[in-house]
Amino acid sequence: MGRSHSSSAQKRKKLYISYNDSIETIAFSPCCTSNDVRELLIAVCCAPHNSSLKLVDNQGHLVPISPTLECNTPEKPYELLVTTARRDSIMEIKKLVANMGQIFERIVECNGNHEDLIKKIEYLESQLQVEGFQAIELEKCKNDLMKLKCKISDEFSLTRVQVHVTTPSSAKRDVPLYPKSFLLYHLRKWNGICYEFIYSPFCLKVSLKILQKAVQKKYRNNPFHNFRHCFCVAQMMYGMVHSCNLQNKLSRKDLGILLTACICHDLDHPGFNNTYQINARTELAVRYNDISPLENHHCAVCFEILADPETNIFANVDKEEFKEIRQGIIDLILATDMARHGEIVQHFKSVAKNFKWDDPTHIKQLQAIMIKCCDISNEVRPFNVAEPWLECLLEEYFTQSDREKCEGLPVASFMDRNKVTKPTAQIGFIKYVLIPLYETLCELFPEIESTMLQPLKDAYVYYESKKLEDDLAKDDHNRNKTCQALLDEKHELERRLAGAEKTISNLAVVVTNSDNTSTKIQ
């Protein structure tokens, strides 16, 4: 302890200062600041703190006032020069009077703002009260909507149509007798036995399993346009044929054309629609001159499969009949182009009221409208089946729109992930495309109204309620944001008001002090 104290004392710096012909001594440690040294010098000369200090060494040079000053001796002290600030009383009074004028102006201005701030706060309080009442009404609407949603869920059910199929006398092999149930299928399995009845007149030399493998190999792994989609379309066609009793109205050839077109209608689909093909000037668009490039490509791949003897299910028909089958399949696959939707529906409407089963033109128009119905039939199915398909379709749409944005191509609003929701995607499509399409078919087959048209109307009601629910949730969110903004503005105004009141109080104190100072000067 003694050594440490001695060492600390040795480190202290001692300086000799000359002031008013007397020698003063100051001492400080190296850890002191320049302000500490200055305070010591002020103590030496007993000058005010606002005085100007100068330190001159024995050679007459100004030196900085800092702890780094070199030690000196009494014979060579530092000379301390002090300059005391002077006050001009008249100038101070003039400045004081000018400041008082500015203070009075600020007081008047603050008084005016004070009233405006009070009015704004009162307005905000009334607005918050109104928003609170609207929030109560919004909660009531949400409760009513939930009741409606539960009611729709309870009433929504799947109607099953039992159809018994008998074996025709001309069948080439035994066909099992079993009940066919509408909408009975599984997404992951190929239910080939369902098609044996339709294909039986063609005396098949190949197994349907071989055809299935060849077709499945030509479908890409897209989110929507894949092999499972082709199976669903073919299954829906099979159910529609039996629901409308077409097995007793159409020839086996026409039924085979229908089913084969369904199986092959999206072969090798790239996952990007015709609009993209044309805008991007793809190889398919160039090859088919921008005329239904995808549908033409599906046809080409279809007959590429049928050209192989191992998969040609029509190998036993003669050339003329195969020519008719080929043309029928081509016409039906081309009919799935949605760009021709209005044209095909109008043609069928013109013959639906006076439909003739012996007129080949009427039959072709019926086949076209049926494959269109089956191609976009997901919303006919139960909701738990339809919704996953909608998600797959939107995923494919979003992938295309993202690519179009990257390539600088036009983007359809119904494909933009930033603009589309499930309800907005389906409401217009169901209302303006699906329901009119199935209503047209119901004019000829009223028996499918309950099994196909009604589920579409139920789906429309569901998505409308879903959209209303989303809109209410969005409005609720916006109202909450508005209320929060109003509260924030109110708090800001209150803060400003408190600041203004504090400023007024401070200014009043300054004015009082100024008056006292003026009185003393006088």
Residue list, annotated binding site for AMP: 225-229, 266, 375, 426
Residue type at position 163: V
Cα separation of 211 and 199, whole Å? 12
What's the per-residue H, E or C state across 157-184?
A: CCCCCEEECCCCCCCCCCCCCCEEECCC
Q: Are 471 and 161 in contact (CB under 8 A)?
A: no
Q: What count of Cα atoms within 13 Å lies in the side-chain half-sphere of residue 253?
A: 16
Binding residue numbers: 225-229, 265-266, 375, 426
36: its two tokens: 């500490």
Question: Looking at residue 205, what DSSP letter applies?
Answer: S
Cα separation of 42 and 50, whole Å? 10
Cα separation of 301 and 3, whole Å? 102
Cα separation of 256 and 197, whole Å? 10
- Residue 176's φ and ψ, nearest 5 degrees, are -65, 145
Cα separation of 284 and 226, whole Å? 19
| Strands 13-19 vs 78-83: parallel, antiparallel or unpaired | parallel
4: its two tokens: 């440490």
The residue annotated as part of the active site, out of 164, 225, 269, 341, is: 225
First to last CA, the chain: 62
362 is catalytic: no
Cα separation of 172 and 167, whole Å? 10
Cα separation of 433 and 437, whole Å? 6
Residue type at position 368: A
H or E segment to which residue 13 belongs? strand 13-19
Which string of DSSP letters, residue by residue, matches 51-116?
A: -EEEEE-TTS-EE--STTPPP--TTSPEEEEEE-----HHHHHHHHHHHHHHHHHHHHHHHHHHHH
H or E segment to which residue 330 belongs? helix 319-335
Cα separation of 427 and 379, whole Å? 11
Beta bridge partners of residue 136, listed in sequence order? none
Binding residue numbers for Zn(2+): 229, 265-266, 375
Residues that are catalytic? 225
